[in-house]
Structure 1
């Protein structure tokens, strides 16, 4: 019994299930790189806001230490998450690079 491999291609099946008719076709949504850039800019904005509110607190313009603490902790957690995501991306790239073709 001969099986046509084109009809059993799991990647092709997955892309069809996702709404793409061919491998490599993309939807009109933003790319993965665009999503990463957006996330990096958001993390940077959190860092800048935390720095500004800390400066304002030191200058005496903000009296609520809670605001400063929350902003700083949010920026810290976002940065830690970003570093972990970067580490996973690097690990995945290294794993793919080690694959024998």
Structure 2
């Protein structure tokens, strides 16, 4: 009796393939963490840039008020997006912890 339509790939059970799959998973997780780190660095750079434009404007340097507002809003929106992404990751992690095996 066939329970489901899943047919495992025979290459999964070979020793080289298992090593390659494990290495591929490690590389995929490293790529994910690298991308996540890079994007968080971009958010940080936007925050620093907005702070610099604001402080330059307050000091009376030649900075257009429109640039200050645009940089501030970009920094604010990127931070809000980062928080929402973090919330989704935490929610997914909590959902995985609630699953029964």
Q: Same fold (TM over 0.5)?
A: yes
More helix by share: 2
> Is 1:34 equivalent to 2:27 in the alignment?
no
Mapped contact 2:57–2:65 kept (Cα < 8 A)? yes
Mapped contact 2:40–2:82 kept (Cα < 8 A)? yes
Aligned to 1:17: none
Aligned to 2:75: 75
Aligned to 1:66: 66
CA RMSD across the alignment: 2.9
Q: Deviations over 1:14-71 (max 9, x none)?
A: xxxxxxxx75425977610111000000000000000001000000113410000000
Unpaired segments of 5 or more residues in structure 2? 13-19
Mapped contact 2:54–2:68 kept (Cα < 8 A)? yes
| Distance across 2 between alignment mates of 1:78 and 1:62 | 26
Mapped contact 1:57–1:63 kept (Cα < 8 A)? yes
| Distance across 1 between alignment mates of 2:72 and 2:85 | 20
| Distance across 1 between alignment mates of 2:98 and 2:26 | 30
Q: What TM-score do you get using the length of structure 1 for normalisation?
A: 0.75
4+ residue segments displaced more than 6 Å: none
